[in-house]
Amino acid sequence: MIETLLKPMKAGLIGAGIQASLTPAMHMREGEAQGFSYAYELIDLSQIGATPKDLPRLLEEAEARGLAGLNITHPCKQSVIPFLDDLSPQARDLGAVNTIVMRDGKRLGHNTDWWGFAESFRKGLPQADLSSALQLGAGGAGAATAYALLSLGLKKLLVFDRETERAKALVHALAPLFPSAEVAVADTLAHAMREAAGLVHATPTGMAKYPGLPLPADLLDPRHWVAEVVYFPLETELLREARRRGCRTLDGGGMAVFQAVGAFRLFTGIEPDAERMLAHFNTLAR
C-alpha cells in the first residue's frame, strides 16, 4: 500500500459516448481522500473516431502511458476479451469485462458490474423477497444483474427481452452456473409479473434519450420490489410509477458506485470508502 501511495495513479475508461460519465470524478476524488495523486482519463471512441477494432492499439497506448488499469464500457465489454491474458472467474462466467488491471506486462480482466449491483441490492432492498423475479433486458447490464441476483440466492428468474434469442442465450449461459435455481425465458410480461415478487429493469428505457416505461404501469403491484439500472436520471419514470403504486424501489446509482468501488480496489490495492464514494456520487448525480 505504501508503495502505491507514493506513486501517482493513472487509469482510464474506454467506451463510446462517455463524456458524461461520473466514473472519473468518483475515482479521482477517492484517490485524493486516500492521500495520493490519481489521474483518470476518458478514451471516448466517439470523440477519437475509433471502434472496438482499435482496441489492440488503444490498450497498447494505455500501457505505454503507464495506466495501471482501465474500465471498459459499451460497446467493448465483450470485444476486449481476446486481447487479455486472463479473466476472473466471474468475468469468464459472464463473458464480459468492465475492469482491466494492467500489471507486470499482463492484462487481467474482471467484472465488477455484477458485484456492484449485488452490493447495491443488499444495501438498498434488505429482506427483499427472492422467491422469484422478472428481469427486463438480456444485454450486458442484464447479464450482470441476473448473475448478481442468482448469486444472492434468487430461486426463480424469468428473463424477458424484445429479442427473444438474446433472452434464450442468457438463460442458456446462466442456468448451468446456478443449478439450484430455475432460470427461464418469460412467456408474457403479464403472466411473469403475476408470478414475480420483484422486477429488475436492465434496458436503456427511462434514460433521457429513451423516455418512457419499459412495461405497462398496471402490471406493477404494491407487493413488487423494483430495481433499476438506469442512473441518468436517478429518478426514472419507472421508479416514480412504482413508488406511486406502493412498491419498494432501488435506483441505478448504487450499481454505478459499487462497480467503481470494486474497480478502485483492483486498480490501487487500497480499500476505498464506499460510503464516501456514494455520498460524492449523490452530489454529482442530483
Which residues are catalytically annotated? 77
The 3-state DSSP composition of the chain as helix, strand, coil percent (nearest 5) reads 45, 20, 35
Q: Comparing C-alpha atoms, which of 214, 203, 66 is closest to residue 143?
A: 203
The set of residues, in sequence order, having a beta carbon less than 8 Å from that of 176 and lying 6+ positions away, is none
Helix or strand holding residue 277 (H, E): helix 274-285
Cα atoms in the 13 Å half-sphere on the side-chain side of 37: 4
4's grid cell = 502505491
Report d(CA 102, CA 280) in Å as an integer: 27
